[in-house]
Each structure stands twice: as structure tokens, then as C-alpha cells.
Structure 1
Amino acid sequence: MPRTDLVEGDDGRSRCAWGANDPEYRRYHDEEWGTPQHDPGRLFEKVCLEGFQAGLSWITVLRRRPAFREVFYGFDAERVASMTEADVERLLGDARIIRHRGKIEATIQNARATLALEVPLDELLWGFAPPQRAAPLTFAELPAVTAESEAMSTMLRKLGFRFVGPTTMYALMQAAGMVDDHLAGCFRAGATSTAIATPTLSGPTPAA
């Protein structure tokens, strides 16, 4: 039986079907998705943009990412944390981004929560990364939620983060390379190694 979840591109490489056609999706699939990301600034951006994705397709967010980066100061947490209600109102009138008050306000709150952390954001998030597993064969094998994403969500909510539900946090894990969900046969599958120990499902404990 042919595997419809994989597509061979014009470059001869097999890819996960979702990343095979649209040029922006293909670049994202080939260069970003599933690549371990440890930079705290880029991880903060991913937390916020995954929140904006809630209820939408990722391509909707991806095509607006340049505008998001502009209006949120490159996702500089200190600058975002200083944004005011006037900034929220201004962004609600900016058609280049997703104009959702709750998500805009959550981004500002998440910046403030990030600055209040007692451990670096990358250390906190990567503390929930699961051990590596065999590459999935089909999209149907991919979970929407895992014990690790539920634990991450619970911790982040306790720390004041918003729009960080367990499904959103599993999408973050996929995007940031905490899990490698490229399908077996995709040229990216297993191309990077997370080299992460088995988590405790609680993440690092913030210093007292």
C-alpha cells in the first residue's frame, strides 16, 4: 500500500505530507519543525505563537510570523512585558496579525511570567522533554496530548502563563524538537537528536 502520509518532492526527498506542497510550510518542515531549540528568546516566541494557533491552522500563524515579530519587538520578553492596554488596543486594529484580545493579552502576561522565572525558560521547558521513541509511521500515531505535555501545561499555568493547554504544549514540543514527530521515511526523521534523559514529569523545580 502506498504511504499517503509521505510525499516525494521534486528534489527527490520524502517529506511528511503536510510539509510537502506550500513553500512556506516546506521551508518550515525542512528547517525548523522538530529541530531542537534551546534559545530562550525563540522558545518564548514559540510559546506565544502556539497560543495564537489555538483553534486555527499553523500556516495561519506562520504566514503572519513576520508581523508578529514586528509588533512584539522580536519577542523580547522585557519589551513585551512593558506593553500596556494602549498597546493591546493598537494591536487589535492591526490586520496583519491575529486580532484576538485574549491571545494578545496572554502574550504580554507570558512575557511577565517568563521574567519572573527562577530558572531559564529553556531549562524549564526542556525538563519535560520525553525520551526518544521510534519514528511514527503515520499521522494517526501522533498523539494530541501526552503525560509530559499535561505536566508542562500544569506547571506553566501555576507560574502564570496563559494559553498553554496540554494540546498547545505538545505542539510546542514538536516544534521545538523536544519530540521528533517526523514520520519514518521522511528525510528529517532522526536527523537531530534531543539526547534528553527521562523526565520526572514535573520539570526543574524553581529555586525557592
Structure 2
Amino acid sequence: MNTEKFSSIYARAVERKGGVQHLEALVRKPLSSKEVAAIPDDRWLAAFTEKVFQCGISWEVVRKKWPNFEEVFFQFRVEPLLMLSDEMWEDKARDPRIIRHLTKVMSIPANAMMIHSAKHEFGSFGDMVAQWPSNDITGLWEFLKKNGKRLGGNTGAYSLRQLGVDTFILSSDVENHLRNCGVIDSGRNTKRAMQASNRAFIDWQQESGRSLSEISQIVAYSCGDNRVQ
């Protein structure tokens, strides 16, 4: 593995984005662990659901209908949703106010149960995420994939990023960079690729002192066809 130094990545991103100030203005910082722990369970479920529905469809279409999702699914309050029968879920999946997709709708009770289970062990789902070892963020991705529904691939990671959790994203730009460096030499979602990517980001974090989220964005801005000007 021939990981490029983060200083070189940063210099290239600065050049591509028109200077340090312009680059830094583009980079979003993650929330603190305390802030992550304070995120209510309903917002975790809402974020997971939004990203599940955005898979394979225009994100903007989902955003426009999102107020209807909030109304139909009780503002994503976990306990009321877990009381619904299968027949009630099927009825909700036919509601014309939302995007009608039974399989995606059925991810909601499954992910609600995952969140509910974490509450009993950690106090809340946010507490669990906040306490997750920062050097094993791909382990958290794997937890979401294993214990949730339709949260594999980048879906879980994008959900975490949306809520401000410190995580990198294997976007096409980041993945291509890691492949060019020889970090990834197998399928993106294999255990081998996950572990190698995690090690690379931890190395960059130790070199730069930056968060995984910041590093991920800067890597993307340093290469590829991203459209941010």
C-alpha cells in the first residue's frame, strides 16, 4: 500500500479549488461526541429512511416529499412506529403522499427496532454512536448493515455524515483515489477494502490532526470530477 501523504493531497485540493480560504470554506466539520449523543432517536430513524429512499432516485424528489414522510410516519418517533402491524405498514406503503415502495417502507420498522435495541444498552442510539471507537468507523458501518435494513454500501455512511457524525465516505472520487494509491484492490464493500480504507484514513488523521470527515472531503476535492467551484 502506497498511501499518498495528506500534505500532498491538501496542496492539490488547494490548487484545484482556488486557494486555502476557498477550500476551507467548502469543508464541513463534524459534530462533537457530545453533540452526536444529543441527537434524538427519531432523527436517526428519519436520516436512515431518507437515505434509503434516495437510493436509486433523485435526492431532490425525496426532499420535496419529505414533509409528507414526517407526517405519515409520526415524525419518526420509534415507539409508536413499533406498535404498527404488518397490515398497517402495507397501508402506509400505499399512501400517495409518499414515494410508494413497500420494500423501502419496511426498512423503517427494522431500523426502528435497531435504534430501540441500542437504547436499552446505551441509553440512546446517539450515545452508542458517540461512544463508538473513532479508529473503527467502518465497524460502525458494518453494525448498521448487519443490524439495520438497507443500510449497506454507502447508505449508512451517508446517513451518519448527514447528521454530523465524523466519518469518511467512499464516494466515487475517494474510492478512485484509494485505488490509484493501491489501498483498495478488491470490491469496495469487502472486509479487506473496508479495513484498508480505515487504516489509510487513520494514517491521514494522525498526520494532519483533522477529522475523518474533513479528510474525506479534501481527498474528494483533490481529484475527480466534483462540481464544487
Q: Shared fold (TM-score greater than 0.5)?
A: yes
TM-score range, shorter chain: 0.5 to 0.7
Whether 1:167 aligns to 2:187 is no
How do residues 64-143 of structure 1 correspond to structure 2 at under 5 angstroms? Answer: 64-117=65-118, 118-119=121-122, 120-128=124-132
**In structure 1, what is the equivalent of residue 142 of structure 2?**
154
**In structure 2, what is the equivalent of residue 187 of structure 1?**
none
Q: Partners in 1 of 2:57 and 2:63 — Cα distance?
A: 11
Higher helix share: 2
Tell me the CA shift for residue 108 of structure 1.
Answer: 1.0
C-alpha deviations, 1:29-68, integer Å up to 9, x for none?
A: xxxx977354222122112221222222322221111111
Q: Partners in 2 of 1:102 and 1:55 — Cα distance?
A: 13
Question: Contact (CA 8 Å) 2:45, 2:108: kept in 1 or not?
Answer: no
Q: Partners in 2 of 1:100 and 1:129 — Cα distance?
A: 35
- Uncovered stretches (5+) of structure 2, i.e. residues with no partner: 1-14, 19-24, 169-209, 213-229
Q: Partners in 1 of 2:101 and 2:30 — Cα distance?
A: 29
Q: Partners in 2 of 1:109 and 1:35 — Cα distance?
A: 27
Whether 1:39 aligns to 2:39 is yes
Q: What percentage of aligned pairs have identical amino acids? A: 22
Question: Contact (CA 8 Å) 1:34, 1:175: kept in 2 or not?
Answer: no
Q: Partners in 2 of 1:34 and 1:88 — Cα distance?
A: 37
C-alpha deviations, 1:127-172, integer Å up to 9, x for none?
A: 45858xxxxxxxxxxxxxxx72x422311244x3111114012211
Name which one, 1 or 2, has greater alpha-carbon Rg: 2
- Once superposed, what is the RMSD of the aligned Cα atoms? 3.3
Equivalent pairs counted in the alignment come to 143
Tell me the CA shift for residue 104 of structure 1.
Answer: 0.8
**In structure 2, what is the equivalent of residue 143 of structure 1?**
none
Which residue of the other structure, out of 162, 178, 183, is the alignment partner of 2:165? 178
Q: Partners in 2 of 1:129 and 1:64 — Cα distance?
A: 35
TM-score normalised by the chain length of structure 1: 0.56
Q: Partners in 2 of 1:34 and 1:83 — Cα distance?
A: 38
Q: Partners in 1 of 2:107 and 2:159 — Cα distance?
A: 16
